[in-house]
């Protein structure tokens, strides 16, 4: 049967609406690619402290993550502030008094560089001490840190899984 031009145009118009809509995969793939790269870059929740092979860290079951702070490394041989040697361990142990003057001078210099840390309470420092270093030396280092106007002193440790013990049921 032959339709008029108007009827044929109406039939074509109605047939166009019955076809499924097209999906542009190019822009969808661009969005997913950007999303994957964003998730890969921002998925890291681990904060790494600089590793020193000469220092064996003690172990702990603490869940707190380290923050970016000034790092004092106490090895069996030397005391370093952000990787720069300040004095030897032998000099620190033989020094008189509760504070270590070269360490205090280096810490005050670092504190002066950080202009944004105006409050003493907000200044943070992390001490990475070898597990075989004497407590007497660590106490001197901690006292020097507080004398150098660092309000929050943290000791770095290696995280270990907590030990689960079973109690005998009676």
What does the pLDDT average to over 104-122? 71
Digit-coded pLDDT (tens) for 10-59: 888 888 777 666 677 778 888 889 888 888 877 765 555 566 666 666 66
Nearest to residue 145, comparing CAs of 136, 154, 157?
A: 154
Same domain, 119 and 153: yes
Q: Is the pLDDT of residue 153 over 70?
A: yes
Same domain, 89 and 155: yes
Tell me which H or E stretch contains 154. strand 152-155
Structural domain including 136 reads 59-159
What pLDDT is stored for residue 15 in this prediction? 81
Q: Is the pLDDT of residue 5 over 80?
A: yes
Same domain, 19 and 103: no
Q: Is 8 exposed, middle or buried (0-12, 13-18, 19+ CB in 10 A)?
A: exposed
* Mean pLDDT of the chain, nearest integer: 78
What pLDDT is stored for residue 21 in this prediction? 65
Nearest to residue 78, comparing CAs of 90, 68, 62?
A: 90
The residue with greater pLDDT, 166 or 89, is: 89
Q: Which band of pLDDT confidence, cut at 50, 70 and 90, is reported for residue 117?
A: very low
Same domain, 120 and 73: yes
Q: How many helical (H) and strand (E) elements, i.e. helices and strands, does the chain have?
A: 5, 7
Same domain, 69 and 125: yes
Q: Is the pLDDT of residue 167 over 70?
A: no
What does the pLDDT average to over 106-126? 72
Same domain, 73 and 138: yes
What pLDDT is stored for residue 31 in this prediction? 87
Q: Is the pLDDT of residue 103 over 50?
A: yes
Residue 53 lies in a domain: no
Are the CB atoms for 79 and 72 separated by under 8 Å?
Answer: yes
What pLDDT is stored for residue 37 in this prediction? 84
Q: Is the pLDDT of residue 141 over 50?
A: yes
Nearest to residue 102, comparing CAs of 123, 69, 80, 75?
A: 80
């Amino acid at each position: 049967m032959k339709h008029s031009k108007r009827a044929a145009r109406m039939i074509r118009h109605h047939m166009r609406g019955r076809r499924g809509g097209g999906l542009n995969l190019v822009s969808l793939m661009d969005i997913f690619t950007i999303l994957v790269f964003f998730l890969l870059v921002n998925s890291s929740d681990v904060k790494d402290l600089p590793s020193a092979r000469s220092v064996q860290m003690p172990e702990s079951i603490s869940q707190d993550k380290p923050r970016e702070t000034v790092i004092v490394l106490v090895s069996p041989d030397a005391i370093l502030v952000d990787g720069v040697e300040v004095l030897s361990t032998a000099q620190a142990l033989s020094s008189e008094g509760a504070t270590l003057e070269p360490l205090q001078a280096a810490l005050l210099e670092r504190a002066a560089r950080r202009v944004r840390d105006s409050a003493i309470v907000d200044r943070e420092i992390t001490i990475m001490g070898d597990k075989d270093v004497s407590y007497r030396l660590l106490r001197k280092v901690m006292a020097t840190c507080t004398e150098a106007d660092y309000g929050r002193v943290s000791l770095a440790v290696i995280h270990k899984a907590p030990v689960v013990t079973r109690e005998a049921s009676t």
